Each structure stands twice: as C-alpha cells, then as structure tokens.
Amino acid sequence: MAADKHHTIFSHRSGGVGTRQVNPRATSDPKAPDDPGVFVPLPLVNQIRSRVKAWREAGYARVTGITKRLLEHWRDPEERRDRQFFLCQLEAIERLILPGEASPAER
C-alpha cells in the first residue's frame, strides 16, 4: 500500500501496518478529528521477531566469532554510550544476520 498526499503509512510494534487519512485541516484547526486508521496485522512479522528473540537469548548460536563480537559490542551500553543504536536498528541488524549465519532450525 503506497502513501499519497491524503494517506500516510505507519507501523506498530505488534507486527503490522496501517494507514490513516491525513487531515489537511489538522495544522489550522487543532480540534479537527483525526482518522485513527486501519491496522492490518502481519503474522509473519511476529514470527520473525520471536525467532530472532529466541536466537538472541541463545547467545546468537552458530554465528562466526567476529559476528558474535560485533553483536555484543553493538548491544553493550558501555562500549557505545555516546553512539547507541535505536532498538529498531539493532533488531534490523539481527534480522539481516539471522538467515545467513543461524542454524537452519533457527531461521
């Protein structure tokens, strides 16, 4: 679903996407109601999240040594105290690594 000048796309931590109509009067009329939108769940997103979480909790099983050190470094708040990643960035990194380095059962 593509965004246009009347709709915007948003995502949820619960694993889905939705659209809501953008109210062009919202900036000029703060009392104008906003469309709450329609949420469309994406079950695959939650399945991927749970697999990544299990893999993370298992200590990133079967990854190469350098990958494991990088993942630990990126998650260590002491190492990255002034340059921390956002949680969504760390999760995206893990999702990219998982198919290439985890065991077939964990993918």
7-58 pLDDT per residue, tens: 444 454 567 766 655 555 555 555 545 656 677 788 888 888 889 999 999 9
Same domain for 28 and 54? Answer: no
Same domain for 29 and 51? Answer: no
Same domain for 36 and 55? Answer: no
Same domain for 101 and 50? Answer: yes
Q: What is the mean pLDDT of residues 52-77?
A: 91
| pLDDT > 70? residue 85 | yes
Same domain for 35 and 53? Answer: no
pTM: 0.63
How high is the pLDDT of residue 18? 65
How high is the pLDDT of residue 22? 56
Q: Which domain holds residue 63?
A: 44-106
Residue 1 included in any domain = no
Same domain for 57 and 86? Answer: yes
Q: What is the per-residue pLDDT across 87-105, written as a single tens digit (0 to 9) for each?
A: 889 999 999 999 998 877 7
Residue 34 included in any domain = yes
Evaluate the CA torsion angle 68, 71, 74, 77 in order and state its sign. negative
Residue 2 included in any domain = no
How high is the pLDDT of residue 43? 86
Same domain for 33 and 82? Answer: no
Number of domains in the chain: 2
Same domain for 56 and 37? Answer: no
